[in-house]
Amino acid sequence: MKKRIFRYLKHIITTFVILGILTISFGLYHGASFRYAENPEMMNWDKDGPYVFSKNDSVIAVNYIRGNQDKGFYLDQKEYASNSKIAVYCYFPLDDTRFEFTINSKIEIPANTYNDNAKILAISDIESGFKTFRDFLITNKVIDKKLNWTFGNGHLVLLGDFVDRDFSTTQVLWFIYKLEQEAKEKNGTVHYILGNHELKNMQGNFDNTSPKYYQVSSILKKQQTDLYCTNSFLGKWMSSKNSIEKINGILFAHGGIHPDLGKHKTNLDEVNQIIRNNYYKPYYPNSGKSLEQLLISSNKGIAWYRGYFKDDLSQEDVEQGLKQFNAKSIVVGHTLQSKVNGKFNKE
């Protein structure tokens, strides 16, 4: 009798173990990842920042959160002339990482077309995972272990959704800003192309945002929408970015180009400017057929479209968007894939 019970329990335990392994494997295959959500250091907000806001036309306030959950938080705030270069740091508590950089108030709209023979490395959907982002760049020799740019004149293309989900959005965004400055000094380029989650944050949709940033906003005595408005340095910087670029004949966008876009006579300058003009206006799945309505639709827009992987497209449908911008191929993120996936002619 005891042997029978033991065998029965053994079969049950074995079944649960196999199911657990299959579940984890299925999740990883479809793009899931292990996060640090249970690490108590995620609640360590001491030295979190900087949070930078314009007080008026001539003064910028730089804020760091200090304190802890038990004794309470307070702000360490300093003010600077808006035209000055401000030396700051950013701290990541999980492994005690700190990087330093300079904030320059001059923000320019980047070019959207580049032609050279430099290397290109693209990555998307980091979703606030600072450690994953940093380690990926080290492994691929874009930066060294001291977090300095080592990619020379290469193109680092960030295909959107670098915010939301996790708790280190601030660190990820400032790290992109830091690398952008360093790349320029080495004749390289960091291309931060906005995805639908950047747009959702700019438009006040925080459904996928870590609860941390509601608390951070409260400590700053601001609304959560203030974190990425144009009065915020990060918001102003993000709102200068493009939604689609062409590098060495290859298009880069977060979602993709809906075939209907090929019916409109347009160019990258116009497309980016139309979308930029609507960064702070909430998107929805509109049914309009105008160029603007198409570009800002939350199912057909360039930052939202999933048709390359979800729709029954022909080769002609795909090429219609490429011909529009005289491109040979397009690289996108957004839609989960288990590995880099070449579709259609794969050229």
Residue range(s) defining the domain that contains residue 15: 1-32
Q: Are residues 184 and 231 in the same domain?
A: yes
Q: Are residues 83 and 185 in the same domain?
A: no
The pLDDT value recorded for residue 29 is 46
Q: Are residues 117 and 236 in the same domain?
A: yes
- Within-domain flag for 343: no
Q: Residue 36 pLDDT more than 70? A: no
The pLDDT value recorded for residue 194 is 98
The pLDDT value recorded for residue 142 is 98
Predicted confidence (pLDDT) per residue in 149-169, tens digit: 999 999 999 999 999 999 999
Q: Residue 195 pLDDT more than 50? A: yes
pTM over 0.75: yes
Query: Regarding beta strands 120-123 and 155-158, do their DSSP bridges make them parallel or antiparallel, or are they unpaired?
Result: parallel
When mean pLDDT is compared across 14-28, 155-169, 203-217, the lowest value belongs to 14-28
Q: Sign of the C-alpha dihedral, residues 133, 84, 58, 106?
A: negative
Distance CA 149, CA 164 (A): 25
Residue 12 is given by DSSP the state: H
- Within-domain flag for 345: no
SS3 of 33-102: the string is CCCCCCCHHHHCCCCEEEEEEECCCCEEEEEEEEEECCCEEEEEEEEEECCCEEEEEEEECCCCEEEEEE
| Total number of domains in the chain | 3
Residues 9-25 have a mean pLDDT of 68
The pLDDT value recorded for residue 341 is 77
Q: Residue 242 pLDDT more than 80? A: yes
Q: Residue 190 pLDDT more than 60? A: yes
Residues 259-287 have a mean pLDDT of 92
Q: Evaluate whether 164 touches 334 at the Cβ level (below 8 Å).
A: no
Distance CA 183, CA 81 (A): 26
* Cβ atoms within 10 Å of 11's Cβ, excluding its own: 10
Q: Are residues 248 and 162 in the same domain?
A: yes
Residue 13 banded pLDDT, cuts 50, 70, 90: confident
- Within-domain flag for 318: yes
Residue 101 banded pLDDT, cuts 50, 70, 90: very high
- Within-domain flag for 226: yes
Q: Are residues 87 and 7 in the same domain?
A: no
Q: Are residues 243 and 131 in the same domain?
A: yes
- Within-domain flag for 65: yes
Residue 118 banded pLDDT, cuts 50, 70, 90: very high
- Per DSSP, the three-state class of 341 is coil
Question: Which CATH number does the domain housing residue 192 bear?
Answer: 3.60.21.10
- Within-domain flag for 248: yes
